[in-house]
Chain A
């Protein structure tokens, strides 16, 4: 359980902003700015943050769907960041991805059978009969029926399509699945079904998840540990219970205080975050959150806080640095 599966060190992705007639680089969007974390075998690491905080970019960087500007990603002692293209394709057998929009992530011209079979064909796994058999098995695993194999994506509902997306990710028997907002496009009732399905198959196949979402409730439900991102930086990372019960960073305190609790008699104080999310092209100096922080100190405006750790609870905030 405690074995490391994935380690990320100082991951950065700066997107250049070009402009003018000659396409000169005018600036950079720091989509992911020095993010480090690790994932243990068999656990679910949730990554939350508001839109534009770089959580999806992080997911894509891990699969090298986009190239990182800097940093190292180590998967099972192999460094992904420096791998050749052909080695990378082999590693992708072990790392699969579930996408956000089930209406866009399946090729509309391919039947379900073809969509599910393709990962096996690409990696040269099994004979034709074995592949067809596995397609049917996987459809059953995700709660569909084998006779759905001949259908096309437009004949399914959003929830069913997301099940197909999950089945596709499972086809090559991966070790790590990166789920990029897998339920945010779904209806709330369907969200729960898909989340429970993901939990069930995690047990069944000993999977490790990186679960990216913006919904605090969803992330709490599925994750063992949760990391929170703000403007491209990972500002707090802790066990799920610990983070939700005992948040340290003022940003997360404020976020959690805003989550509605279904109890009308409960009195609680909501901390309001003021101001707008700063532009990632021009992030504030020092701590990225200092412009909106209720407990901002002088040092926050000048120095970026270092990560502070106690009992596996990481937080990047000057309040906890001596």
Chain B
């Protein structure tokens, strides 16, 4: 049968102007086309820039008190008004972006690293290793997360840094489970078998083959988790367990001004809107990333 078919090759002859795009670049291109996701990215980038240039953007320092200007409504002098110590709310909101983004980013980074590591080990080695790690995750997930965070802060003592650690700890099982389930399916793929057949070591298989193919849902989850980490940090700040005065943390600002709700609503409104906008930005971005990176969403 085969004698009839010559050993010719079925290659299209578009040799010139051949553009090869890596899967990551391709993902970026379809992300760029998603308007909402792009809007989310713009919001996030806006806040990041704001955080970086805070000393230039803020007209006043975040802790400079002018007691004669207490609880002033928004004006050309104080764009967002002033709080009960006469501090400029606009400047505090701008500096607050630094803190919220810092907490959001680093707490998620911590939980991604720890969660990915544990999840990969559990998924790849399986058996009793998996059982132990997965049961610890189950125990952690059985607590309401804010309660667990309060417990961690209670042990470490209330400060912004400890709030960050607490938020990182409570998010570990989410990432761990996510990556574990991906690893379980990726390690069954034939190219992993092929990698072993080539003679690769476990460490190389994990780093070069399993990790890159398991990481995309983690990227999505991380973006969304930054949003919830910001809310959790604000929540802890609100409860007095996070940032301590005079740190301009958005949640703490809400907590401090709650008694002036009727008298001076701008003291709550602006930090609140800042939290809402940042979270919205990260959520839109995360949704867009999911559409782009989830293979099932592809045409």
- A interface residue numbers (CB < 8 A to B): 60, 63, 65, 88-90, 92-93, 96-97, 99-101, 104-109, 111, 118-119, 122-123, 143-145, 147-148, 150-152, 155, 157, 159-160, 165, 168, 172, 189-193, 195-197, 200, 217, 221
Contact B213 A108 (CB under 8 A): yes
Q: Which residues of B contact A100 (CB under 8 A)?
A: 190
Question: Known interface pairs A107-B209, A108-B213, A150-B20. Does A168 touch B194 (Cβ–Cβ under 8 Å)?
Answer: yes
Contact B8 A193 (CB under 8 A): yes
Contact A104 B190 (CB under 8 A): yes
Question: Known interface pairs A104-B190, A104-B191, A192-B2. Does A144 touch B23 (Cβ–Cβ under 8 Å)?
Answer: no
Q: Tell me the minimal C-beta distance from A23 to chain B in angstroms.
A: 11
Contact A63 B197 (CB under 8 A): yes
Kindly state whether residue B212 has any CB partner on chain A within 8 Å.
yes
Closest to A60 in B: B193
Q: Which residues of A contact B196 (CB under 8 A)?
A: 65
Question: Known interface pairs A90-B199, A122-B199, A160-B10. Does A217 touch B190 (Cβ–Cβ under 8 Å)?
Answer: no
Mask: chain B, 195-239; 1 = CB below 8 Å from A; 0 = not: 111111100100011001100000000000000000000000000
- B interface residue numbers (CB < 8 A to A): 1-2, 4-5, 7-11, 15, 18, 20, 22-23, 189-191, 193-201, 204, 208-209, 212-213
B7 is contacted by which of A93, A123, A200 (Cβ under 8 Å)? A200
Contact A99 B7 (CB under 8 A): no
A-B contact count (CB 8 A): 100
Q: Tell me the minimal C-beta distance from B156 to chain A in angstroms.
A: 39
Question: Known interface pairs A96-B198, A101-B190, A118-B198. Does A145 touch B11 (Cβ–Cβ under 8 Å)?
Answer: yes
Q: Measured between alpha carbons, how far is A168 from B194 in the docked complex, in Å? A: 10
Chosen A-B contacts, 21 in total, with CB atoms closer than 8 Å, are: A65-B193, A92-B197, A99-B190, A99-B193, A100-B190, A105-B194, A108-B23, A108-B191, A109-B23, A109-B213, A119-B198, A122-B199, A122-B201, A144-B11, A150-B20, A152-B20, A157-B10, A159-B10, A192-B2, A195-B2, A196-B5
Q: Which residues of B contact A88 (CB under 8 A)?
A: 199
